[in-house]
Amino acid sequence: DAGVTQSPTHLIKTRGQQVTLRCSPKSGHDTVSWYQQALGQGPQFIFQYYEEEERQRGNFPDRFSGHQFPNYSSELNVNALLLGDSALYLCASTQAADTGELFFGEGSRLTVL
Amino acid sequence: QQQVKQSPQSLIVQKGGISIINCAYENTAFDYFPWYQQFPGKGPALLIAIRPDVSEKKEGRFTISFNKSAKQFSLHIMDSQPGDSATYFCAASKIANAGKSTFGDGTTLTVKP
Q: Do B99 and A41 touch (CB under 8 A)?
A: no
Q: Do B106 and A4 touch (CB under 8 A)?
A: no
| pLDDT tier, B98 (very low <50, low <70, confident <90, very high otherwise) | confident
Q: How do the pLDDT tens digits run along chain A, 113 residues long?
A: 679 999 999 999 999 999 999 999 999 999 999 999 999 899 999 999 999 999 999 999 999 999 999 999 999 999 999 999 999 999 999 887 666 789 999 999 999 99
The pLDDT tens digits of the residues spanning A60-69 come to 999 999 999 9
Q: Which of A57, A19, A37, A89 is nearest to B97 (CA)?
A: A57
Cα-flanking dihedrals φ and ψ of residue B84, to 5°?
-80, -10
Residue pair A33/B44 in contact (Cβ under 8 Å)? The answer is no
For residue A97, what pLDDT is reported? Answer: 67
Q: How far apart are CA B38 and CA B31, in angstroms?
A: 23
For residue B70, what pLDDT is reported? Answer: 95
For residue A25, what pLDDT is reported? Answer: 96
Is the pLDDT at B95 greater than 90? The verdict is: no
Q: Which of A48, A19, A34, A11 is nearest to A89 (CA)?
A: A34
Note whether B42 contacts A: Cβ–Cβ < 8 A.
yes
Q: How far apart are CA B64 and CA B4, in angstroms?
A: 16
A/B interface, count of CB pairs below 8 Å: 66
> Considering only CB atoms, which chain A residues are within 8 Å of B44?
43, 90, 102, 104
> Considering only CB atoms, which chain B residues are within 8 Å of A100?
32, 34, 49, 95, 98
Task: Provide the residue count of chain B.
Answer: 113
For residue A101, what pLDDT is reported? Answer: 84
The pLDDT tens digits of the residues spanning B45-65 come to 999 999 989 999 999 999 999
